[in-house]
C-alpha cells in the first residue's frame, strides 16, 4: 500500500473517530436532557395536581363528615380536576390502600414500590419509567396528608414521543456524521495526494537516475520539508551526475592512455623481436651481438619508464596517494637538488636553484617529481643552463634549450605527444613527463603556464596556493 493511501486512511480514520465521538456525546446529552425535561414536566404536573386537589378538598371540607362521605367527596373532586386537565396524562388516587380513581391501565402503587425518590416542598415524590403496550410511560406518585387523611396521588404519562424524537435526532446526527466523514475523507484524500505529489516526482526522478538519466531533477515548490527534500535530492543528483561524468572522463582518459601505450610499444617491441631473432638465428660478430644486446636493453628500459609513468598518471587520475600539507620550499629544493646534481654534472648542465622562506601547500614527493620531470625535459632539449627559482608562491623552471614551436605549446602536455619523436626517443623520452606535471599541478589547485621560443629556450611557471 502506498504511503499517501496509508496517510489518507489514517487521517480519515482519526477524523471519523473524532466526529463519531462528538456525535455520540451530543446524542447522549440531548437524549438525557429530553428525558430529564419529560421527568421534570411530569413531576411539575403531578405537584400541580396535588396542590389543586388539596386546595379544593380543604375548601369543601366540613367537620362531622363521615369517612364514606369524605371518600366520595375526594373521589368527586379528584375526577373533576383530573378530567379537566389538557394534557394526555392519566391520574390515579388511592386512600387507605384502596384506589378511589385510576384512569390508567397500570397499578401505580405497585410500580413505585422500588422507584426513585425526589424530595420537594416537604413531600417525597417517587417516579419511574416503565414499558407498557410497546410504549414508555413515566409514573409519578406521592403520599399527601389532607384534612387528617392520607391520599396517594399518581400521574401516568406516555413519553414514547420523547424517545421517538431522540431516535429521530440520533438518525439525523448519524446521517450528518456520515456526510461529514465522507466530505472530510474527500478533502483529506485530496490534500494528502496533493501534498505528497512531489514524492511521486521524487520517485520518478530516482527511477530515472537508476536507469542512467543523471540529468533528471525535481521542480521545487514551497518551503516545506518536502521542498527541502527535493532540494537535497537535486543536490545529490547533481553530485551523482558530476561524479559519473568524472568517472567517464577518467575511464576515457585511461582508454586513450592505454591505446597510446599500445601504439608506442609497437616500435620498440618490433625492434626487440628483430634483434632477438637475429641473436638466436643469425651468426653475428661479437660487436654486432653487443650492439643488439645494448639496443634490446635500451628499448626495455624505455618500456619500463613508459609503464612507470603511465601507472603514475593512472594513479593520479584515481586521486590516490596525494597528501597536501604546508611545506617549506627550502626542504623541497634541497631534496630535488640532491637528486639532480649528479645528473647535471654527468651531462654538463649548469643547475642553479634559488628560493626564499616561502611555505606552500603541496605534496612534497609529487612536487619533487614535477621539478625532476621539468629538468629532464630541459636536459633532453640540449639545455646547458637550467634555473629553478621560487618567489612569492611562483615556481619557475627556465632553460636555454632548443625551445618549443608555437603550434606545439598547446599540445605539449598531451600524453605521448613529442615535438621531435626521433630526438625524444634517442634521449629516452616517452612523451608522458609534461602530462604527469600537468596532472600533479592540477591536483594541487595550481596553475601551469609555458613560455617558449625556438633556439632561445623555455620557461615553465607553476603557481601554487600559499
Where are the domains positioned within the chain?
Answer: 3-168, 321-466
For the chain, what is the total number of helices (H) and then of strands (E)?
12, 13
SS3 (DSSP) at 450: strand
Domains 3-168 and 321-466 share a fold: no
The DSSP code for 288 is: H
**86 three-class SS:** coil
Q: Are 136 and 159 spatial neighbours (Cβ–Cβ below 8 Å)? A: yes
| Rounded-to-integer distance, Cα 8 and Cα 414, Å | 61
pLDDT at 119: 79
Return phi, psi of residue 360, to 5°: -115, 150
Average pLDDT, stretch 181-193? 82
The single residue listed with the C-alpha cell 484524500 is 189
Condensed to tens digits (0 to 9), the pLDDT of residues 122-173 reads 678 999 999 998 999 999 999 888 777 888 999 999 998 988 988 888 888 8
For residues 81 and 373, the model is more confident at: 373
Say how far apart CA 315 and CA 98 lie, in whole Å: 120
Q: Hey, is 61 helix, strand or coil?
A: coil
pLDDT at 392: 80
pLDDT in tens, 98-129: 888 888 889 999 998 888 888 766 678 999 99
pLDDT-based confidence at residue 316 (cuts at 50, 70, 90):
low
Q: Is 352 helix (H, G, I), strand (E, B) or coil?
A: strand
pLDDT digits (tens, 9 = 90+) for 224-248: 777 777 778 778 878 888 888 877 8
Question: 268 with 307: CB under 8 angstroms?
Answer: no
pLDDT-derived band of residue 423, with 50, 70 and 90 as boundaries? very low
Residue 427 phi, psi dihedral angles, 5° rounding: -85, 0
**Higher model confidence: residue 61 or residue 244?**
244
Is the C-alpha dihedral spanning 7, 8, 10, 14 positive or negative? positive
Q: Look at residue 418 in the predicted model and tell me its pLDDT.
A: 56
CATH no. for 321-466: 3.30.565.10
Q: What top-level class would CATH report for the domain 3-168?
A: alpha beta
Contact 412, 434 (CB under 8 A): yes
Amino acid at each position: 500500500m502506498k504511503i499517501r493511501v496509508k496517510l489518507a486512511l489514517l487521517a480519515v480514520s482519526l477524523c471519523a473517530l473524532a466526529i463519531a465521538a462528538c456525535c455520540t456525546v451530543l446524542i447522549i446529552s440531548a437524549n438525557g436532557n429530553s428525558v430529564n425535561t419529560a421527568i421534570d414536566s411530569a413531576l411539575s404536573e403531578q405537584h400541580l395536581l396535588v396542590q389543586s386537589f388539596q386546595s379544593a378538598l380543604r375548601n369543601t371540607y366540613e367537620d362531622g363528615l363521615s369517612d364514606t362521605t369524605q371518600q366520595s367527596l375526594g373521589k368527586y373532586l379528584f375526577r373533576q380536576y383530573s378530567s379537566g386537565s389538557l394534557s394526555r396524562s392519566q391520574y390515579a388516587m388511592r386512600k387507605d390502600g384502596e384506589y378511589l380513581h385510576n384512569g390508567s391501565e397500570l397499578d401505580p402503587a405497585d410500580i413505585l414500590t422500588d422507584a426513585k425518590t425526589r424530595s420537594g416542598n416537604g413531600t417525597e415524590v417517587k417516579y419511574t419509567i416503565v414499558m407498557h403496550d410497546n410504549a414508555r410511560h413515566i409514573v409519578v406518585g406521592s403520599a399527601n396528608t389532607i384534612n387528617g387523611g392520607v391520599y396517594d396521588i399518581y400521574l401516568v404519562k406516555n413519553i414514547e414521543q420523547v424517545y421517538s424524537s431522540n431516535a429521530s435526532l440520533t438518525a439525523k446526527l448519524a446521517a450528518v456524521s456520515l456526510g461529514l466523514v465522507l466530505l472530510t475523507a474527500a478533502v483529506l484524500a485530496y490534500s494528502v495526494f496533493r501534498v505528497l505529489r512531489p514524492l511521486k516526482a521524487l520517485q520518478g526522478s530516482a527511477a530515472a537516475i537508476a536507469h542512467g538519466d543523471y540529468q533528471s531533477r525535481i521542480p521545487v515548490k514551497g518551503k516545506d520539508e518536502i521542498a527541502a527534500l527535493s532540494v537535497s535530492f537535486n543536490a545529490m543528483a547533481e553530485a551523482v551526475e558530476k561524479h559519473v561524468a568524472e568517472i567517464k572522463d577518467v575511464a576515457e582518459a585511461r582508454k586513450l592512455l592505454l591505446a597510446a601505450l599500445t601504439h608506442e610499444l609497437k616500435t620498440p617491441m618490433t625492434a626487440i623481436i628483430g634483434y632477438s631473432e637475429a641473436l638466436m638465428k643469425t651468426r653475428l660478430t661479437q660487436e654486432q651481438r653487443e650492439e643488439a644486446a645494448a639496443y634490446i636493453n635500451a628499448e626495455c628500459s624505455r618500456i619500463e619508464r613508459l609503464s612507470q609513468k603511465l601507472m603514475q598518471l593512472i594513479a593520479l587520475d584515481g586521486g590516490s596517494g596525494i597528501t597536501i600539507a604546508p611545506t617549506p620550499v627550502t626542504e623541497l629544493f634541497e631534496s630535488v637538488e640532491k637528486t639532480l646534481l649528479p645528473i647535471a654534472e654527468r651531462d654538463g648542465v649548469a643547475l642553479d636553484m634559488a628560493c626564499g622562506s616561502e611555505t606552500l601547500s603541496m605534496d612534497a614527493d609529487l612536487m619533487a617529481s614535477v621539478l625532476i620531470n621539468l629538468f629532464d625535459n630541459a636536459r633532453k632539449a640540449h639545455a646547458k643552463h637550467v634555473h629553478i627559482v621560487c618567489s612569492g608562491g611562483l615556481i619557475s623552471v627556465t632553460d636555454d634549450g632548443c625551445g618549443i614551436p608555437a603550434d606545439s605549446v598547446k599540445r605539449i602536455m598531451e600524453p605521448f605527444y613529442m615535438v621531435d619523436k626521433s630526438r625524444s626517443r634517442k634521449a629516452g623520452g616517452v612523451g608522458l613527463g609534461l602530462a604527469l606535471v600537468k596532472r600533479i599541478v592540477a591536483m594541487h589547485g595550481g596553475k601551469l603556464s609555458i613560455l617558449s621560443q625556438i633556439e632561445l629556450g623555455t620557461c615553465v611557471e607553476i603557481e601554487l596556493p600559499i
